[in-house]
Structure 1
């Protein structure tokens, strides 16, 4: 059985790492789009139908937002977890130079900063929607 060369293995791992990084960003973009859709729809309903008529829909919008946040957060976390795993594997496969310094370093803790900022943004946005849900806010001017 023929094995992959180190170069081919590194190239394959690098492609996986790139895909996982892009996957995190794509999942966050989708969260922002769906968040905007739910928020915009809630504001539109509130303005068109008034506070009393849309109040029964407020919990549904809130729970839908929580569902979107949980699913998006899980997808983003899974991409990050996979990225770290592929990066660790790449570090092991790439080997070391003659001074025994890894050719590809292990993933650093600071590499997760963007991931956790994205997760925090999702959490803050979801809490803000739940707290300031346009469908359940007190009387708005003209509403």
Structure 2
């Protein structure tokens, strides 16, 4: 298990970890996000970030192809945190806007959309990264 950290307020990657593609990895991803945001002094954004990373990991666990996923937490700008999950599937996730009947599953990206300033998918030849960006103002 490798965790990379940079002491700067921005940088790529800030923190990242390769995890098994299994539901239990969401807990490890949440710890990584909590560590990153605490190191950057952005504790007030931890709750929203936890929901976002949980949903992104859940999607990667369900739709990824290989045995592992990669969680990445970066700070591309002073007031922005990007949470991403990389998997080896090139299937682009779609946000469900229908009621989905009585099913609870299938609306995670609606949560991601509501909690992030923006989100998206970066396709690569070998797979994709699904990410969400939080606008984060450091405490004064």
TM-score when normalising by structure 1 = 0.27
More strand by share: 2
TM-score when normalising by structure 2 = 0.27
More helix by share: 1
Task: Kindly name which structure, 1 or 2, has the bigger radius of gyration based on alpha carbons.
Answer: 1
